[in-house]
Amino acid sequence: MRALVALSNFAGRWFGVVILAAAVGGYFAPNSFLWALPWIGWLLAVIMLGMGTTLTAGDFAAVFTQPRVVAAGVGAQYIVMPLLAWGISRALQLPPELAVGVILVGTCPGGTASNVIAFLARADVALSVTLTTISTLLAPILTPALTLLLVDRSMDVSAAALFLDVFKIVAAPVALGVLLNRYLPGPMRTCKPFLPLTSVTAIALIVAAVVAGNRESLYISGPLIAVAVIAHNGIGLALGYGVGSLMGLSVARRRTTAIEVGMQNSGLAVALARAHFDPVAALPGALFTVWHNLSGALVAARWRQRDFERSLRILDG
């Protein structure tokens, strides 16, 4: 049991490295991961269920006590990232199947890994959890609506089917997790130490499977997708911080808005892309999963270093 808990803690701490290793494994040993392709939706639902089991009524308190801050964070999430994804797709003249993949990443809610990055960056973790939760609960409505608004009109996709899939993959598992946490607190308390391992394993399988299933397309279009993903994430982080600055938020909360805006639930983008569009559309989401965890860790390390340097200056002064 202790070994399993230690492994779970290791997986949570080195999440970015594990995901990078999964992507490399999917590329160089594709036959080992192709079996997971049909299970991507279920794997993501497991992650969302785990997120739900960590939520309590207190996580929603900021919605009522600080509505201005929460509205700004969620608003930036669903305005900045979708429009940025659309603009980058147009600027790079991405093929429609790749453009829709980037747009799907932009229209998805904040990723659960953002809460870990917020902790590492010494940001406002409670606000991070609130923003992730609210954006996730809004996803069944906003993700399909914004996607259909921004994608190429020539693409044939059912709004009802897209909405239903987001509901099944996100809303239903999160709601079930909240109910389990409320009515079965004992068993859930026992399970929580293993949630990082479960989530990391699930997202690693998703990334490895998508890379394995689109190996040839990645070889051809990989550099272009990488430019789109890095630009989307980097500009999103910068604009998120800018929104916090314009609102006069504290440094910790500016960092939170930056992380919540810049880090997406790209696993959801992967699942929706595979279900409703060309399989190649899942590639931006898979690469985003790898990149945003690495960039988030780097940004967090830089902010922590800046805090340390500021503390030294105060002591010297």
Check pLDDT > 90 for residue 13: no
Confidence of residue 69 (pLDDT cuts 50, 70, 90): confident
What average pLDDT does the segment 74-92 reach?
A: 94
Report CA 280 to chain centroid distance, whole Å.
Answer: 19
Percentage of the residues of the chain whose pLDDT score is greater than 70: 89
Identify the residue with better confidence: 311 or 166.
166
The reported pLDDT for the residue numbered 41 is: 85
Stretch 5-26: mean pLDDT, rounded?
74
Check residue 159 and give its pLDDT.
75
What is the average pLDDT score of the chain? 84
The range of the structural domain enclosing residue 6 comes to: 2-316
pLDDT of res. 40 = 85
**Residue 184 belongs to a domain with what CATH number?**
1.20.1530.20
pLDDT tens figures, 104-154 = 999 999 877 787 788 778 888 778 888 888 898 899 899 999 998 998 765
Q: Count the Cβ atoms, other than its own, within 10 Å of residue 29.
A: 11
Mean pLDDT, residues 199-228 taken together: 84
Q: Kindly indicate the confidence band of residue 91, based on its pLDDT and cuts at 50, 70 and 90.
A: very high
- For residue 310, is pLDDT > 80? no
Length, in residues, of the chain:
317
Using 50, 70 and 90 to split pLDDT, how confident is the model at 92? very high
pLDDT surpassing 70 at residue 42:
yes
User: Could you read off the pLDDT of 140-193 as tens digits, one per residue?
Assistant: 899 999 998 998 765 667 778 888 888 888 888 888 888 888 888 888 788 777
Average pLDDT of 60-68? 74
Asked if 244 contacts 303 with a C-beta cutoff of 8 angstroms, the reply is no
Torsion of CA 69, 72, 77, 83, to 10 degrees: -170
pLDDT computed for residue 258 by the predictor = 94
Residue 197 in this model has a pLDDT that exceeds 70: yes
Q: What's the pTM value of the predicted model, to 2 decimals?
A: 0.85
Confidence category of residue 7, pLDDT binned at 50, 70, 90: low
Q: What was the pLDDT predicted at 145?
A: 92
pLDDT at 55: 74
How sure is the predictor about 304, in pLDDT bands with cuts at 50, 70 and 90? confident
Residue 75 pLDDT grade (very low, low, confident, very high; cuts 50, 70, 90)? very high
- Answer whether 241's CB lies under 8 Å from 254's CB: yes
State the pLDDT at residue 88: 96
Q: How many domains does the chain have?
A: 1
